[in-house]
Amino acid sequence: MKTFIASKKTELDKDAAILENLKYPNILQLIFCTIQPKSCSLVLELMSTDLNKFIQGRISPDNELPFTLPVALDIMLQIARGLKYIHERGVGHRDIKPSNILMTPTPVPELVEMGYVEVKLADFGMAKAKLMSCTTRSQTANVGTPVYRAPELFDGADAKVSHRV
């Protein structure tokens, strides 16, 4: 559950409006919204952890990797599928980072033993609906977590640079 104080109701409305129209296996699902006099909440699909916490919990002193190569590739593909889905619907997430990528063990027992997980994109509070194009001119500079932001989106970046999704 994600709860907002009443003054942040517009943030809840934006998150809920975007999530209610996104139905895809790699997108966190909105179950329902509640509005109270002093707070508002989004009730969301339950996931075990986020990618950041998961990796931090698996860092070992002997430099063992947190995932096998096939599992890492599968995680990247799931993230890419979720991004492709939202971009095809004109939504730009604008804050993709490990803590906004939620994970839970896969429901397939044989794959759980090998370390496979289900991955879902979450936290659409900074998302931009109705993306017109993928040029830096159409994107808001300095939105999202700076360490994960594309270089061309920093203030003063060359507006002629563009990227494709």
In a domain, 47, yes or no: yes
- Integer-rounded Cα radius of gyration of the chain: 17
- Among candidate residues 15, 95, 123, 158, the one labeled active-site is 95
What's the structural domain count of the chain? 1
Tens digit of each residue's pLDDT (9 = 90 or more) over 83-119: 999 999 888 888 889 999 999 999 999 999 999 999 9
Tens digit of each residue's pLDDT (9 = 90 or more) over 140-150: 554 556 665 65
Q: What is the pLDDT of residue 52?
A: 95
Q: What is the pLDDT of residue 126?
A: 65
In a domain, 141, yes or no: no
Write 83-86 long-range contacts (CB < 8 A, 24+): 83/121, 83/165, 84/165, 85/22, 85/24, 85/26, 85/27, 86/22, 86/24, 86/27, 86/121, 86/127
In three-state secondary structure terms, 2 is strand
Full residue range of the structural domain in which residue 84 is found: 2-131
| Residue ranges, the chain, pLDDT below 70 | 4, 6-12, 125-165
In a domain, 157, yes or no: no
Q: Is 95 a catalytic residue?
A: yes
In a domain, 9, yes or no: yes
Q: Which residue has the tokens 């809920």?
A: 16
In a domain, 78, yes or no: yes
Separation between Cα atoms, residue 142 and residue 151, nearest integer Å: 10
In a domain, 150, yes or no: no
Q: What is the pLDDT of residue 11?
A: 64
Separation between Cα atoms, residue 153 and residue 157, nearest integer Å: 6
In a domain, 66, yes or no: yes
* CATH number of 82's domain: 1.10.510.10
In a domain, 161, yes or no: no
**Tokens for 138?**
């159409």
∠ CA 47-7-126, rounded to 5°: 50
Q: What is the pLDDT of residue 136?
A: 44
